[in-house]
């Protein structure tokens, strides 16, 4: 690391001492971009500007629950970097949401969006609202109140939110309806992940999970392997997890375990994905329910403070598709001991820095989140294109564009790893490749 980078990192740590996730995300990126930092970057305070969000909006979200009680949540939108396009990134509704998590996600999103090759800047938003156990009516009222404030700050050329944890097509529908009502305009491109009847794109629902497996296919291919016959375990059972599982099966792999925050199911014959979809997408129940139909499947309950059970099951390919810092050093050691060949990050920052280093040192192929889960936001950008054209592509057209984008992203990571002698460190390679376009755009646009 050079002096300039060290100085910026020190400043980030002291200025954001109460934001551990944000500091972690910055550290991971900034440490790896040393080979492409120039004197001009330093003169123009490029890194200092890059680690400071353009704007953070926080707001009150009051709503009335089914019992008539007034509830108050906190809403956020972090508009991190708009150098290469309108701010773009999802909304997360989860009780753990705070400014540190919002900022880490928006920071990561900036480089991820750059890697897609599409003109989208980095943003993220959400709320500490907990959707678990809420009725449809409560979800709608919350979304409407959230949009009452958010509508001032978004627009199809300004900032385009989408889904993330706790926000799927149902929530995007309520958000879109309220935006349309307040603004009195049909601005389809203001949100992505919309339903297919009102401007959504085919294959957006599947895109993050499918994209993760396309990336994994390319990474294995570059190392003379395929997914055929491999066993797969997946942390999570939400949108990303489900469609990663579907594409993994299609590629000839066998998914044997999936989880939620309570525990995991292990079905050595291969998971029945239709049953998972019924439990999670339709009934919105816990994954334990899987045993009702498949009593021979095991259910392993998580123990607080211990490695999530899904990571204790031996598999060739492990796909963290739940939340940040799911894989720490202890878990990484278990994965290495179990002979894991590859880890594919469907979630954002699911692996701690220490665990990343340990996995790579032990020759585990690691598909980094910024690159490997970029298929979701890339397809969101394709949804924006279709909305602008007032036209829609077939499922096959969108899927083949997604496949090409993921193939290109892996190629960019691979070529960068070769150019800078990084071996299988695709994490550093993705950071460098994503950084370049944002850096060039910021340098070209002057001190902004």
What is the rounded radius of gyration, in angstroms, for the C-alpha atoms of the chain? 21
Could you say whether residue 236 binds ligand NDP (CB under 6 A)?
yes
Tokens of 274: 């239709």
- Verify whether residue 124 is a known catalytic residue: yes
**Which residue, 145 or 259, has its beta carbon nearer to ligand NDP?**
259
Residue 109 engages ligand NDP in binding (rule: CB under 6 A):
no
Q: Which is nearer to ligand 2IT, 226 or 404 (CB)?
A: 404
- Please, what's the b/e burial string for 333-365 (b: 16 or more CB within 10 A of its CB; e: otherwise)? ebbeeeebbbbbbbbbbbbbbebbebbbeeebb
Q: Which residues contact 397 (CB under 8 A, 6 or more apart)?
A: none
β-sheet bridge partners, residue 296: none
- Candidate list 99, 178, 208, 425; residue touching ligand NDP; CB under 6 A: 208
The correct pick among 165, 257, 264, 319 for binding ligand NDP (CB under 6 A) is 165
Helix (H, G, I), strand (E, B) or coil at 133: coil
Does the protein bind ligand 2IT through residue 89 (CB under 6 A)? Answer: yes
| Single residue of 227, 234, 322, 384 touching ligand NDP by CB under 6 A | 322
Q: What is the smallest separation between the CB atom of 376 and ligand 2IT, expressed in angstroms?
A: 4
- 324: contact with ligand 2IT by CB under 6 A: no
Helix (H, G, I), strand (E, B) or coil at 231: strand
Q: Which of 124, 280 has the CB closer to ligand 2IT?
A: 124
Q: Burial-class residue 54 by CB neighbours within 10 Å (0-12, 13-18, 19+).
A: middle
CA–CA dist 398, 237 (Å, integer): 24
**Taking contact as CB under 6 A, which single stretch among the options 170-178, 271-279, 316-324, 372-380 is the one that binds ligand 2IT?**
372-380
Looking at 164, 171, 345, 399, which residue binds ligand 2IT (CB under 6 A)?
A: 164
The nearest distance, CB 153 to ligand NDP, in angstroms, is 21
Report the 3 state secondary structure along 311-352: HHCCCCEEEECCCCCCECHHHHHHHHHCCCCEEECCCCCCEC
Position among 89, 123, 161, 166 found at the interface with ligand NDP (CB under 6 A): 166
Q: Shortest CA distance to 254 belongs to which of 245, 244, 263, 242?
A: 245
Contact set with ligand 2IT (CB under 6 A): 88-90, 109, 112, 162, 164, 192, 348, 376-377, 380
Residues that bind ligand NDP (CB under 6 A): 94, 96, 163-166, 208, 236-241, 260-262, 321-323, 346-348, 373, 376
Active site residues: 124
């Amino acid at each position: 690391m050079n002096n300039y980078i060290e100085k910026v990192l020190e400043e980030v740590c002291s200025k954001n001492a109460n934001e551990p996730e944000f500091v972690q995300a910055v550290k991971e990126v900034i440490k790896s971009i040393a080979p492409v930092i120039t004197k001009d970057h330093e003169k123009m305070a490029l890194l200092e500007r890059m680690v400071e969000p353009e704007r953070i909006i926080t707001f009150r979200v009051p709503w009335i629950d089914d019992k008539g009680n007034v509830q108050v949540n906190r809403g956020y939108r972090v508009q991190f970097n708009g150098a290469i396009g309108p701010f773009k990134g999802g909304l997360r509704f989860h009780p753990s949401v705070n400014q540190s998590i919002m900022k880490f996600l928006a920071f990561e999103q900036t480089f991820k969006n750059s890697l897609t090759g599409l003109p989208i800047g980095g943003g993220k938003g959400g709320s500490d609202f907990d959707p678990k156990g809420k009725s449809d009516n409560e979800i709608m009222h919350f979304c409407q109140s959230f949009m009452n404030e958010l509508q001032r700050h978004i627009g199809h050329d300004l900032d385009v939110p989408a889904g993330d944890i706790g926000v799927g097509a149902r929530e995007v529908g309520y958000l879109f309806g309220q935006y349309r009502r307040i603004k009195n305009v049909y601005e389809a491109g203001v949100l992505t992940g919309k339903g297919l009847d009102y401007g959504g794109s085919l294959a957006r629902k599947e895109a993050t999970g499918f994209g993760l497996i396309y990336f994994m296919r390319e990474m294995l291919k570059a190392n003379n392997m395929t997914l055929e016959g491999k066993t797969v375990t997946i942390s999570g059972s939400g949108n990303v997890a489900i469609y990663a599982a579907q594409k993994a099966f299609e590629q000839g792999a066998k998914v044997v375990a999936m989880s939620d925050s309570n525990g995991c199911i292990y079905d050595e014959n291969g998971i029945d994905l239709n049953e998972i979809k019924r439990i999670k997408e339709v009934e919105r129940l816990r994954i334990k329910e899987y045993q009702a139909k498949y009593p021979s499947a095991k259910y392993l309950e998580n123990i607080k403070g211990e490695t999530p059970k899904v990571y204790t099951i031996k598999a060739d390919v492990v796909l963290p598709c739940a939340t940040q810092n799911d894989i720490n050093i202890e878990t990484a050691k278990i994965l290495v001991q179990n002979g894991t060949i590859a880890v594919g990050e469907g979630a954002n920052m699911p692996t701690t820095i220490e665990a990343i280093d340990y996995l790579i040192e032990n020759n585990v192929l690691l598909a980094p989140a910024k690159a490997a889960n970029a298929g979701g936001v890339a397809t969101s950008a394709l949804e924006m294109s279709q909305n602008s054209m007032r036209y829609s592509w077939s499922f096959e057209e969108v899927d083949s564009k997604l496949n090409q984008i993921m193939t290109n992203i892996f190629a960019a990571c691979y070529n960068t790893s070769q150019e800078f002698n990084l071996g299988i460190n695709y994490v550093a390679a993705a950071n460098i490749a994503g950084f370049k376009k944002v850096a060039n755009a910021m340098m070209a646009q002057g001190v902004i």
